A = this chain, B = another copy of it.
Amino acid sequence: MQLETATIDIGTSRPLVLLHAADADELGAHPLDRVRIEWAEGTTTGIVKRTDELVEHGTVGLTEPLHHVRGPVAVTLAGSPSSVGAIRKKLDDAELERTELERIVQDIHENRLSDVELSAYVSAVYANGLSLEETTHLTTAMSEIGQQLTWETPVVADKHSIGGVAGNCVTPIMVAIVAAAGVTMPKTSSRAVTSPAGTADVMEVFCDVEHSIDEIESIVAETNACLVWGGGVDLSPVDDEIIRAENPLSIDPEGQLVASVLSKKRSAGSTHVVIDVPYGEGAKVESLAAARGLADDFKRVADHLGIDVCCAITHGADPIGRGVGPVLEARDVLAVLEGLEEAPESLRLKSIRLSELLLDHCGVDADVLDLLESGRALERFREIVAAQGGTPDVSYADLEPAAESTAVRADRSGIVTRVDNRALCDLARRAGAPLDGRAGLVVHPSAGDEIDVGDPLCTIHAQTTAKLEEAASLADRLEPIRVRSKTDALVERR
């Protein structure tokens, strides 16, 4: 069928092809069918949507991934991409071959799968799992797409946390310590997807985080390290597409998680990696046994890829550090590096311990406590910030959270029994983080602390009173920090 083209702007990564209902009928094309589009310069495929108004009879509407196609075009029905057969095979709980996993990764990368197909892939991997061999093939296939970084030093240190813990901004501190110890650590991090702040959002408080590969190479040459946004360098980009289907289902299948993390590390050229696996109530991994199993999987797959991985199983039931939100976490980072009294002990301890692990893993003998307390880590951090275009002498005192604030206070005295990561993250997002860099919250007590009625449990910061009130009312409903009376079994009488 010969059609004219029109460009349609809908925010979708999928190559949607809007056909007038009459043209779709004529073609025999149903919604979600694929069509082949031939135009003067080539051939591509897209996924059919029907419409009565958005395009006219005789015109085909093309969304962004197809905006380079200009009419007239010949449109014919096309079959499903071959990886749909492999997805069905995984739904049937059969072992996938290397080539099948490569085809799935390629089709995801080229946006050839519809949402229905992508979700079936994620669901199949979640329901039926991936063997060690499948995970290794998947990791390799994912890492071979996108950019590849290479470094001249034989040891390239890296770290990753599987996430789910509020605050937990150990990365900038670790990078500063490890680089100060003379080890190369070119760190790429993500921005927040469903959390109130990714490491890249925190670093953006200090300096630019979007750098080209050339710029990253010169930053690393100068300081032994960098702290940049990974999205700017396109490492293992297939991961982002897969996450798009995992998020609405709140699933994160283990084999996929291992492949996603290690493919990024492989593309980044990392040789020695510490993976932080926080476990506990409400964390991604609930039990110590599950954390150990995941750690073993990481090590086994990494072995096959020639990456030296060491896993740190850590406490994940409550936050690390006090701040939640870009500026508030950046303050915690500086407090630790500057050795201030305000430094949250949980963040300081975890940063020291993981740095020791990583340096030991790299075969480097260094006194981490001395690097931190001597101010050499702070100095290195400031050099990195300067190399990334920030103000080098930034200090704790310069960072101001959003002006509107309110404290959530204990309505009874007793022991703090629960500091809920997920509820605190929801609260910080409601207050405006990460879009408002200065919005978020500060957590006051830790689990086990004694509390008097009226003591502040957390302080919420927001740019506007409207946002502040929204967050405060959410806090009432979520009760993110729970206190149990030592003397009364009754919580309240109604």
- Interface residues, chain A, with chain B CB atoms under 8 Å away: 8-12, 18, 21, 25-26, 28, 30-33, 49-54, 80, 84, 87-88, 91-93, 114-120, 122-124, 126-128, 193-194, 244-245, 247-251, 429, 435
Contacts and interface: CB of A to CB of B under 8 A. Distances in A.
B53 A435 contact: no
Contacts of A8: 54
Contacts of A435: 25-26, 28
Contact of A124 (B52, B84, B117, B123): B123
Nearest 9 Cβ contacts at the A-B interface = A11-B50, A9-B53, A123-B123, A119-B119, A115-B115, A127-B127, A116-B119, A120-B123, A11-B51
Interface centre among A18, A127, A249 (most CB of B within 10 A): A249
Contact of A251 (B88, B115, B122): B88
Contacts of A193: 30
How many copies make up the complex?
Answer: 2
Contact of A21 (B11, B18, B54, B114): B11
A36 to B, nearest CB: 13
A471 to B, nearest CB: 12
Contact of A117 (B30, B114, B119): B119
A316 B186 CA distance: 62
A247 B32 CA distance: 9
Contacts of A10: 10, 18, 49, 51, 54
A32 B51 CA distance: 21
Nearest to A13: B31
Nearest to A192: B28
A315 to B, nearest CB: 25
24 contacts: A9-B53, A10-B49, A10-B54, A11-B31, A11-B51, A12-B31, A30-B194, A32-B248, A80-B248, A88-B249, A88-B250, A91-B127, A91-B249, A91-B251, A114-B248, A115-B115, A116-B118, A116-B119, A116-B249, A118-B119, A120-B122, A120-B123, A123-B123, A123-B124
Among the interface residues A8, A12, A87, A120, which one has the most CB atoms of the partner chain B within 10 A? Answer: A120
Nearest to A20: B11
B127 A123 contact: yes
Nearest to A93: B127
A25 B432 CA distance: 10
A139 to B, nearest CB: 23
Nearest to A118: B116
A26 B467 CA distance: 11
Contacts of A116: 115-116, 118-119, 245, 248-249
A7 to B, nearest CB: 9
A92 B25 CA distance: 39
A372 to B, nearest CB: 35
Given A84-B249, A116-B245, 8 more contacts: A93-B127, A116-B248, A117-B119, A117-B248, A119-B119, A120-B249, A123-B127, A127-B127
B12 A49 contact: yes
A100 to B, nearest CB: 15
Contacts of A93: 127
Q: Which of A80, A115, A244: most chain B CB closer than 10 A?
A: A115
A54 B53 CA distance: 14
Contact of A127 (B21, B49, B128): B128
Contacts of A30: 193-194, 247
Contacts of A249: 84, 87-88, 91, 116-117, 120
Contacts of A122: 120
A95 to B, nearest CB: 15
A119 B128 contact: no
Contacts of A117: 119, 248-249
Contacts of A80: 248, 250
Contacts of A32: 244, 247-248
Nearest to A49: B11
B52 A11 contact: yes
Nearest to A80: B248
A59 to B, nearest CB: 14
A108 to B, nearest CB: 13
A405 B115 CA distance: 40
A128 B127 CA distance: 8
A30 B240 CA distance: 13
A21 B435 CA distance: 13
